[in-house]
Structure 1
Amino acid sequence: MHSFWSEKSLILVLLMVACVLLVAVLGLLFVVPYWGFAGIHPMLPQVAGIVFALILAGLLAGFGLLMAAIFLGRDVPFSAWLRSLSAKGLLPLLIAVGRLVGVSKKAVQHAFVGVNNELVLASVRSRKKPRRVLLLMPHCIQFSQCPVRITFQVDNCKRCGKCPIADLLRIKERYGVDLAVATGGTIARRIVVETRPDLILAVACERDLVSGIQDTLPLPVYGIFNERPNGPCVDTRVPLDEVRAVLASLLEKA
């Protein structure tokens, strides 16, 4: 797995490549029809130039702010808009650029979640600590042979210790946060709507974390990758020390 700094570097490089490509495409979209504009009206080339310049300036400003936030690790103006832009607009572009330069989709998703986490932490730390935090877990962390139903009611857990649920319940009680287990995206969205958290700390695989971050915008989601000693979707594990560290960082500040 990449370290955070390599993830940050990867996203920055892909952003720069994407920025160059977008500028080139916008240039072609302007230059190709430019000479025909004058045949419609003598002022149309100048008007078109201004419009394209404004679009280009907006794109470059967005890219610049995002790069500054990633590089500095601090909150910047329009941070919520930047997270939305990166999750819904830029991520597909970064995946496409990654393929062009030989970077796998999974690696780009992994790096994206790491950078998203840094943006979320910077945004949250610049404001009052969140009043309501939701720990959102995938159903696959429950012991696969367990007969107890914990979806929607995680307190049904018998705390036998065969899966991470018992430890997560102790973390829930220690920090006074909400804990929920979802079997899929639809139920996860329902839980979020019912809980109305200020911050979500979600554990899942790369694909589910990325889709969850996109689906819950503009709510901030801090993503943690699950551990899969038995393969995907069966008796997966939670990096509990990372969960505790994030909660301590966010909720125990002065």
Structure 2
Amino acid sequence: MLFHKKDLDNPERYYGARKRLFIGLITGTSILLCSLLFAGWIIPLIGFSNIHPSLPYIFGLLFGSTVLFICWSTLGLVLQILKGRAVLGTAKMRGMTIRLFLPLMIMLARFLGIDKRRVRQSFIRVNNELVRSENGAFEAKDILILTPHCLQASNCSLRLSYNVDNCERCGRCPVAMLLKLRDHYGVKFAIATGGTIARRIVVKERPKFIIAVACERDLTSGIQDTYPLPVYGVLNERPCGPCLDTTVPELSMERALRMFIKNPAPPLQFEAAFGEADTKC
């Protein structure tokens, strides 16, 4: 299973640990960047003065401005994560997190011996909070639910990746539940067999907002690939291991939908968890 029982019993502790890991790594990354910049300034300092007396000061000004920008953006991002809203004028920090900090954080985590999966979980959690703080609500028709094909029951013979309406809604996998959510709220829903197909679906459907279901690796790469399009990530559960009969809690999906739909319909009442009796690994 993806989650330990003790984590599920105390979700605040679980998500708090994720945010602490992200904040710790992003702070360490910023310190490392500033140290490298300082080394790049101090080493050629004497040589620059031989070229022109003012050159060390010009370079120092550029260095100081870069360090100040890194510190300001890091502080703004950390405060935005903690407060749930933009502060210090840092209204659009998700792009910097995705393009600059995440690759460096993964490198730092690898050096410190921290599992990459933990870093990705932390990034997804923080990305979701940034998406919530930087975006409002959308029309239902502009929202796309995008899921991997491993949510479909492995012993199902139907082909759903090109047309989800081929599903017979037998309830043996989460697809029936997702179709029910799609029909009830009026959003779009598609299943992708890989990153290339997922990008093709996004180009075809042209959504303004995506709720994506996947594992840590695929969610992280998907968020990076689709930027600046906002993506809210929902981690799947893997009772049978990776890429086989994965599941997603219906309450998590409906909560995510209602969070971003303008004037959503009344909440659905699911009679029972899908596939509870049929899942055999």
The TM-score normalised by the length of structure 2 is 0.85
SS of residue in 2 equivalent to 1:234 = coil
Query: 1:88 deviation in Å?
Result: 2.1
Residues 25-36 of structure 1: matches in 2 within 5 Å?
A: 25-36=36-47
Task: State whether structure 2 residue 138 is matched by structure 1 residue 129.
Answer: yes
Residues 162-177 of structure 1: matches in 2 within 5 Å?
A: 162-177=172-187
Partner deviation per Cα, 1:45-92 (whole Å, 9 max, x = no partner):
111111111222222222122112111111454544x21211121112
Q: Which of the residues 92, 102, 112 maps onto 2:113? A: 102
Q: Which of the residues 17, 27, 35 maps onto 1:16? A: 27
Q: Hey, which of these two has a bigger chunk of helix by percent?
A: 1
Specify the code of the residue in structure 2 equivalent to 1:5. G
Query: CA separation of 1:53/1:151 partners in 2, compared to 1, >3 Å: closer, same or farther?
Result: same
Query: CA separation of 1:19/1:251 partners in 2, compared to 1, >3 Å: closer, same or farther?
Result: same
Task: State whether structure 2 residue 148 is matched by structure 1 residue 138.
Answer: yes
Aligned to 2:11: none
Specify the code of the residue in structure 1 equivalent to 2:57. Q
Aligned counterparts of 1:181 and 1:39: Cα–Cα separation in 2: 63
Unaligned stretches of 5+ residues in structure 1: none
SS of residue in 2 equivalent to 1:74 = coil
Deviating more after overlay: 202-211 vs 96-105? 96-105
Aligned to 2:79: 68
Query: RMSD across aligned C-alpha pairs, in angstroms?
Result: 1.7
Query: CA separation of 1:70/1:175 partners in 2, compared to 1, >3 Å: closer, same or farther?
Result: same
Unaligned stretches of 5+ residues in structure 2: 8-13, 265-281
Q: Which of the residues 135, 160, 164 maps onto 1:150? A: 160
Aligned counterparts of 1:101 and 1:233: Cα–Cα separation in 2: 28
Percent of matched pairs sharing the same residue: 43
Aligned counterparts of 2:127 and 2:249: Cα–Cα separation in 1: 18
Aligned to 2:103: 92
What is the number of equivalent residue pairs in this alignment? 251
